[in-house]
Chains A and B, each alone.
Chain A
C-alpha cells in the first residue's frame, strides 16, 4: 500500500488513516447492514417478495389440480418459480434504488475495493431472499403434502440455489442501472444465464421429494456448487468494470 500520500497531504487531519483489522469484511457487513436497516424501515421490498411468492404457491397449487400422483413432478418447479420470481423483485431494486436515489456515487467514493460493494449487496440479497424462503418452505410442505423430514436437505438445496441466483443477479442488477429499460432488461438477461442453477436446484429438489439415493443426484449437486463458485468468481472479477461509468 502506498505510504507517501499521507505525508504529502497533511495526514494529521485525516481521521481514518489506518484501517482496522478486517476492514474489508466490516465494509461488506456495513453495506448489507445498511440495506437491511433501510428495508426494516420501509418493508416495501420484503412485503412485495413475500406476497408474490405466496401467490405463486397458491395459484400453481390450484391451477395444476395437484394430486398425490403428480404433486412430486410439479412441486419442485413451483417452488423454484416462486423463489426465482420473488428473488427477481429484490434483485431488481438492489442497485436501481441506489442509482435512482443518487446514493450510488457515495458507495463508489468509499475507500474500498469495488468487490466489497458487490459482496455487501450480494449478502443483503441472499438475506432478503432467505427470509422469504423461511416463510414459503413450510407453506410449500403443507400445500404439497410433503413429509416434514425433507426440510433439512431441502434447505441445503435452497441455500445453494439462492447463492447462485443472487450471485449472478447482483452483478446483473449493477449492469442494467445505466440502461433505460432496466426493469425489463434484468429478467431478460438474468434468467438465461441462471438456467444451470435453477435446473440443478429443481432436479435436486425433485430427488429429495422422490427420496432418490444420493448417487442419483450427486452430479446435479456438483453442478450447482460449481456454478455457484463460477458465478461468484466471475462477478468478483467483473464488478469493477461493470460499475465504471
Chain B
C-alpha cells in the first residue's frame, strides 16, 4: 500500500529524515512515534503529497507521489492538530465544500452518515467556531473520512484535547481504522499509540530506530527514546 524508499528530507542544511525506508501493508494501523522535531510531521506531509522529498521515493500503491500527486490525493484522508476547517462556516457547509472538492457522490447522504458517525448530527447547522475543541476534531475526522479514503493519516490528532475528548477520539479512531483502511498515526501518547497501532515505528535522529509489532515493544522501552 505505502512504500517509502531511501527517503531524505532536508530544509536547507538541516537534514530531518536520513535515508529511511519502510513498507505499510493494506489495512495496517501503524503508530509513528518520536520526540518533537524527529520528523514525524515532515514524513506525514510527504506521504500526504503536501511536500516533496529531497531524495528517495514514496509509492502509494505503485504510484510515485511526485508524479501522480493530484491523483493520489483522492485516496488519502488527513487529520492533523490543525482541523483544516473554516470557522465561519457550519459543519455541514464545511463538509459540503470538501464533498465537492473530492467529487463525492450523493453528498447529502454521505454528509449525514459521517456526521452521525462522529456524533455531530444535530449540530451540523452551527458555525464551527461555536464547537468545542473536541467537537472540531471530530468534525475534522468526518472531513477526512468523507470520501472514504483507503489511507488515513493522523498527525497528533489528540493535541489540545482534554481527557474526555481524547478518550472519545480514541474510540472514534479505533472505529475508523477498519481492516479496509490503512492508517498511519503519529502521537506522543505511547499507551494510546500501542493500543491502536498494530505496528510501531519510532523515528530518532532522522532514522527509524524501532520498527516492530506492538506485541514486541513496551511503553517503558519506547519511553527510553523520549528520555535520551
Q: Which residues of A contact B (CB under 8 A)?
A: 1-2, 4-6, 8-11, 13-20, 23, 26-27, 29-31, 33-34, 37-38, 41-42, 101-103, 105-114, 244-245
How many A-B pairs fall under 8 Å by CB? 131
The verdict on B165 contacting chain A, using a C-beta distance below 8 Å, is no
User: Of residues 137 to 152 in B, which have CB atoms within 8 Å of A's CB atoms?
Assistant: 143, 147-151
B100 touches A26 (CB 8 A): yes
B70 touches A9 (CB 8 A): no
Residue of A whose beta carbon sits closest to that of B150: A9
Give chain B residues whose Cβ lies under 8 Å from the Cβ of A103. 82, 84-86
B88 touches A41 (CB 8 A): yes
Residue of A whose beta carbon sits closest to that of B48: A109
21 residue pairs of the A-B complex, CB under 8 angstroms, read: A2-B68, A5-B62, A6-B75, A8-B62, A9-B61, A9-B182, A10-B26, A11-B150, A15-B110, A15-B147, A16-B102, A17-B74, A23-B103, A34-B93, A101-B87, A102-B82, A103-B84, A105-B84, A108-B50, A110-B73, A245-B52
Q: Which of B26, B60, B101 sits near A30, CB closer than 8 Å?
A: B101
Given A5-B75, A103-B84, CB of A37 within 8 Å of CB of B93: yes
Most buried by B among A29, A102, A109: A109
A106 touches B85 (CB 8 A): yes
State how many residues of chain B have any CB contact under 8 Å with chain A: 50
A109 touches B50 (CB 8 A): yes
A38 touches B86 (CB 8 A): yes
The verdict on B1 contacting chain A, using a C-beta distance below 8 Å, is yes
Given A101-B87, A105-B82, CB of A5 within 8 Å of CB of B71: yes
Residue of A whose beta carbon sits closest to that of B1: A9
Q: Tell me how far the C-beta of B73 lies from the nearest C-beta in chain A, rounded to whole angstroms.
A: 4
Q: Tell me how far the C-beta of A115 lies from the nearest C-beta in chain B, rounded to whole angstroms.
A: 10
Q: Tell me how far the C-beta of A97 lies from the nearest C-beta in chain B, rounded to whole angstroms.
A: 9
B105 touches A16 (CB 8 A): yes
Given A103-B86, A109-B84, CB of A41 within 8 Å of CB of B71: no
Give chain B residues whose Cβ lies under 8 Å from the Cβ of A110. 73, 98, 101-102
Per CB-CB distance, the 6 closest pairs between chain A and chain B, nearest first, are A106-B84, A102-B82, A111-B74, A8-B61, A30-B100, A111-B73
The verdict on B171 contacting chain A, using a C-beta distance below 8 Å, is no
Given A30-B97, A105-B84, CB of A13 within 8 Å of CB of B102: no
A9 touches B103 (CB 8 A): no
The verdict on B202 contacting chain A, using a C-beta distance below 8 Å, is no
Q: Which of B49, B85, B150 sits near A10, CB closer than 8 Å?
A: B150
Most buried by B among A19, A33, A38, A110: A110
The verdict on B180 contacting chain A, using a C-beta distance below 8 Å, is yes
Q: Tell me how far the C-beta of A22 lies from the nearest C-beta in chain B, rounded to whole angstroms.
A: 11
Residue of B whose beta carbon sits closest to that of A113: B70
Q: How many angstroms between the C-alpha atoms of A15 and B149 in the bound complex?
A: 8
Q: How many angstroms between the C-alpha atoms of A23 and B70 in the bound complex?
A: 13
Give chain A residues whose Cβ lies under 8 Å from the Cβ of B87. 101
Given A13-B150, A109-B50, CB of A5 within 8 Å of CB of B143: no
Q: Tell me how far the C-beta of A220 lies from the nearest C-beta in chain B, rounded to whole angstroms.
A: 39
